[in-house]
Amino acid sequence: MASPLAKAADETPAADHAARIDHVSKSFAGPAGRQLVLDDITLDVAPGEFVTLLGASGCGKSTLLGLVAGLDEPTAGSISTGGRPALMFQEHALFPWLTAGKNIELALRLRGVPRPERRGEAERLLELVRLGGAYGKRVHELSGGMRQRVALARALAQDSRLLLMDEPFAALDAITRDVLHDELTRIWRETDVSILFVTHNVREAVRLAERVVLLSSRPGRVAHEWRVDIPQPRRIEDHDVAALSVEITEQLRGEIRRHGQH
Amino acid sequence: MASTDTTGTKAAAQDGQGGTAGRAGQAGLDVAGLEAGLDALETTGSARVPLRSTLVSKVLPPVTAVVLVLVVWEVLVLCHVAPAYKLPSPGDVWGEVTDAWMQGTLFGYIWTSVSRGLLGFLLALVIGTPLGLVVARVKPVRAAIGPILSGLQSLPSVAWVPPAVIWLGLNDQMMFAVILLGAVPSIANGLVSGVDQVPPLFLRAGRTLGATGLRGTWHILLPAALPGYLAGLKQGWAFSWRSLMAAEIIASSPDLGIGLGQLLENGRTNSSMSMVFLAIFLILIVGIAVDLLFFSPLERWVLRSRGLAARR
| Cβ separation A91–B211 shorter than 8 A | no
Phi, psi of B156 (to 5 degrees): -60, 130
Q: Are residues B92 and B184 in the same domain?
A: no
User: Which of B1, B201, B217, B301 should one mutate to test binding to chain A, selecting the residue with the greatest count of A CBs within 10 A?
Assistant: B1
Structural domain includes residue B162: yes
pLDDT at residue A20, as a whole number: 87
Q: Are residues B275 and B287 in the same domain?
A: yes
pLDDT at residue B4, as a whole number: 40
Residue where a domain terminates, one of B46, B66, B101: B101
Query: In B, which residues are within 8 Å of A192 by CB distance?
Result: 10
pLDDT-derived band at B96 (thresholds 50, 70, 90) equals: confident
Alpha-helical runs (H) found in chain A:
61-69, 100-111, 115-128, 144-157, 174-190, 202-208, 239-260
> CA B281, CA B109: separation in Å to the nearest integer?
13
Structural domain includes residue B14: no
pLDDT at residue B48, as a whole number: 67
Q: In what order do the strands lie in the sheet with A19-30?
A: A33-45, A19-30, A76-81
The answer to whether residue B68 scores a pLDDT higher than 90 is: yes
Q: For residue A232, give the 3-state DSSP assignment.
A: coil
C-alpha count within 13 angstroms, C-beta hemisphere, residue B62: 6
Mean pLDDT along residues B34-49: 73
pLDDT at residue B14, as a whole number: 44
pLDDT-derived band at B6 (thresholds 50, 70, 90) equals: very low
What is the DSSP track for B53-84? HHIIIIIHHHHHHHHHHHHHHHHHHHTTSS-T
Structural domain includes residue B281: yes
> CA B242, CA B248: separation in Å to the nearest integer?
10
How confident is the model over A118-142, as pLDDT tens digits? Answer: 999 999 999 888 888 889 889 888 8
User: Which of A97, A141, A227, A229 should one mutate to test binding to chain B, selecting the residue with the greatest count of B CBs within 10 A?
Assistant: A97
Query: In A, which residues are within 8 Å of B1 by CB distance?
Result: 43-44, 211, 225
Structural domain includes residue B47: no
How confident is the model over B275-286, as pLDDT tens digits? Answer: 899 999 999 999
Structural domain includes residue B194: yes
Q: Are residues B186 and B69 in the same domain?
A: no
Answer for the pair A37, A67: CB distance below 8 angstroms, yes or no.
Answer: no
Alpha-helical runs (H) found in chain B:
9-16, 21-42, 51-54, 60-78, 90-103, 106-137, 139-154, 161-168, 172-196, 200-209, 213-216, 222-250, 260-269, 273-290, 296-305
Cis bond upstream, residue A31 (ω within 30): no
Structural domain includes residue B254: yes
- Chain A residue with minimum CA distance to B302: A97
Structural domain total, chain B: 2
Residues 6+ apart with CB under 8 A from A120: none
Q: Are residues B64 and B114 in the same domain?
A: no
The answer to whether residue B144 scores a pLDDT higher than 80 is: yes
Mean pLDDT along residues A38-63: 85
Phi, psi of A198 (to 5 degrees): -95, 135
Most confident of B3-12, B87-96, B122-131: B122-131
The rounded percent of chain A whose pLDDT value lies above 90 is 21
Q: Are residues B129 and B196 in the same domain?
A: yes
What is the DSSP track for B218-262? IIIIHHHHHHHHHHHHHHHHHHHHHHHHHHHHHS--GGG---HHH
How confident is the model over A6-43, as pLDDT tens digits? Answer: 434 443 445 678 888 888 888 888 777 788 888 888 88
Q: Which of A145-149, A211-215, B51-55 has the lowest mean pLDDT?
A: B51-55
* Residue, of B89 and A30, whose pLDDT is higher: B89
CATH class of A15-85+161-262: alpha beta
User: Which of A22, A49, A159 should one mutate to test binding to chain B, selecting the residue with the greatest count of B CBs within 10 A?
Assistant: A49
Please, what is the average pLDDT of chain B? Answer: 83
Structural domain includes residue B298: yes
Nearest to A182 among B31, B43, B202 (CB): B31
Q: Which of A24-33, A182-191, B65-74 has the lowest mean pLDDT?
A: A24-33
Looking at CA atoms only, how far is residue B203 from chain A in angstroms? 9
Q: Are residues B65 and B165 in the same domain?
A: no
Q: Are residues B97 and B154 in the same domain?
A: no
pLDDT at residue B11, as a whole number: 46
Q: Which residues of B touch A (CB under 8 A)?
A: 1, 3-4, 6-7, 9-10, 13-14, 16-17, 24, 27-28, 31-32, 34-36, 38-39, 42-43, 46, 201-202, 204-205, 207-211, 215, 219-220, 223-224, 226, 302, 305-308
| Cβ separation A211–B307 shorter than 8 A | no
Query: In B, which residues are within 8 Å of A69 by CB distance?
Result: 208
Q: Are residues B62 and B185 in the same domain?
A: no
pLDDT-derived band at A101 (thresholds 50, 70, 90) equals: very high
Q: Are residues B282 and B156 in the same domain?
A: yes
Q: Which CATH number is B110's domain given?
A: 1.10.3720.10
pLDDT at residue A7, as a whole number: 37
Q: Are residues B66 and B138 in the same domain?
A: no
Query: Range of B158's domain?
Result: 105-305
- Chain B residue with minimum CA distance to A17: B3
Which of these, B258, B265, B305, lies nearest to B106 by C-alpha position?
B258
- Domain boundaries along the sequence of chain A: 15-85+161-262, 94-159
How confident is the model over B177-197, as pLDDT tens digits? Answer: 999 998 999 999 999 999 999
Q: For residue B22, give the 3-state DSSP assignment.
A: helix
pLDDT at residue B132, as a whole number: 93
Structural domain includes residue B214: yes
Q: Are residues B122 and B235 in the same domain?
A: yes
Q: For residue A81, give the 3-state DSSP assignment.
A: strand
Q: Are residues B62 and B152 in the same domain?
A: no
ipTM associated with this complex? 0.82
Phi, psi of B291 (to 5 degrees): -65, -45
